[in-house]
Amino acid sequence: MRFNTALSGIILVLLSGSAFSAGEMPSGYPVPVQKVFRHWQVTCNNLNDCDIRNNDPYLRVTLKREAGAQGKISLDFDLADKRQALYLDGVRFPLAQPAWQTDEEEGAFYVHTDQLDVIQQFALAAKNAKRLSLSEHGGNQSNNQEESISLNGLNAALLLADERQGRLNNRSALLQVGNGDVTQVPSVPVGQEISPAYTQPPPLTNAKALINGVVNAKKTLLEEEDCGLSKEARQLSEAEPLTNELALVMLNCGMGAYQSSSMLFVTPRNNPQAAQLLELPRPIRTVESREEKIRWFTEVDYDPETGMLYHSAKGRGIADCGESAQWVFDGKTFQLVAYNYQPECNGGQPGDWPSVWAMPGYPTE
């Protein structure tokens, strides 16, 4: 199952007065990448932090690594029950302490390590194997396939991460390990900084009137977008101050099974007839390179104290797929500071979606 959205575009919507014009994202950062190699997905964000995970729903494997010589690394197995070892084509791979730490909760069993040498040992053992299984014979085609996962594509994912982080032929590499000194690994990319000159504006005194005014002004657009605005949805709609002159109106378009979506408008405080639809692009492109902007914001929230705008859309109720984004309003522009995306709905941890875009100094989740 796939989260139904396409990623694209790396331009922001820039607010100037009450009109919108195109602006560029902060320069100097690598373009994020997200690829699937057979049964494995790799995501590297604009800071070159990489996330590698499998797409099998039964036995979950997640490897995360930060960029730079001192970047943190972790490898996690999400297992159905307690295990002392895993098997690579029937060959035992131990999960013994202290190299591996375990955690058990709510019927699930987790195994974790943050030791590079241990993770390199696993990568080496898996390099020429076809399947990873819970038991010695779990990888056989005649046995329960829920006990094993395919390793097809893992090497390509590891190689892409090594290449992206400049670790090829380095002692710190995951797959193509060499003799290069760890100090030779490129540092974390440094690009243009975001420096919000945001001052909390005075509160609105006419929030309800602004909501009603925008609804009346944008009736045709709302109908075209099938934004129902039932009585319940109207009650869930909100308006918040952006500046001394502008407000953000969030029109709730109705509740789904487990979340609601809204259309957002920037409007002069005293003239909702001049409201402008807010659309914000995503930070990476799909294979089709088709531009798509976020125009329906899910579980949207805006904090006028900090100028932070939040969006989080689950692909399905258990939240193993979806997207989330955060923007900061600097008085003129909504600047993207974090974007996470997991396209495949395959049983991962709720809300554990790979980082695609992250600005230093801001949380990534």
CA angle 345, 351, 354 (to 5 degrees): 80
The CA distance from 230 to 226, in Å, is: 11
Spans of all domains in the chain? 11-28+200-358, 33-184
Residues ≥6 apart with Cβ < 8 Å to 226: 253
φ, ψ of residue 220 to 5 degrees: the values are -65, -45
The CA distance from 44 to 58, in Å, is: 24
Percent of the chain exceeding pLDDT 90 equals: 66
Residue from 148, 79, 156, 68 nearest 112 by CA: 79
| Least confidently predicted of 73-82, 107-116, 287-296, 351-360 | 287-296
| Least confidently predicted of 77-91, 118-132, 224-238, 278-292 | 278-292
Query: In this structure, are residues 48 and 86 in contact, taking their beta carbons and an 8 Å threshold?
Result: no
pLDDT band (50, 70, 90) for residue 17: very low
pLDDT on residue 286: 47
**What tokens were used for 68?**
């730079």
pLDDT on residue 43: 98
Give 308's strand partners: 303, 328
pLDDT on residue 201: 96
Query: In this structure, are residues 217 and 275 in contact, taking their beta carbons and an 8 Å threshold?
Result: yes
Per-residue pLDDT for 160 more than 60?
yes
pLDDT on residue 141: 53
pLDDT on residue 3: 65
The CA distance from 212 to 217, in Å, is: 9
Choose from 11-20, 174-183, 220-229, 248-257 the range with maximum mean pLDDT.
174-183
Which class is domain 33-184?
mainly beta
Task: Give the model confidence (pLDDT) of 57-101 as tens digits.
Answer: 888 999 999 999 999 999 999 987 788 899 999 999 999 999 999
Work out the burial of residue 135: count CB atoms within 10 Å of its CB; fewer than 13 is exposed, 13-18 middle, 19 or more buried. Answer: middle
The CA distance from 47 to 31, in Å, is: 9
Cis check: omega of the bond before 196, within 30 degrees of 0: no
Choose from 103-117, 175-189, 339-353 the range with maximum mean pLDDT.
175-189
Higher pLDDT, 241 or 137: 241
Per-residue pLDDT for 12 more than 90?
no
Per-residue pLDDT for 209 more than 90?
yes
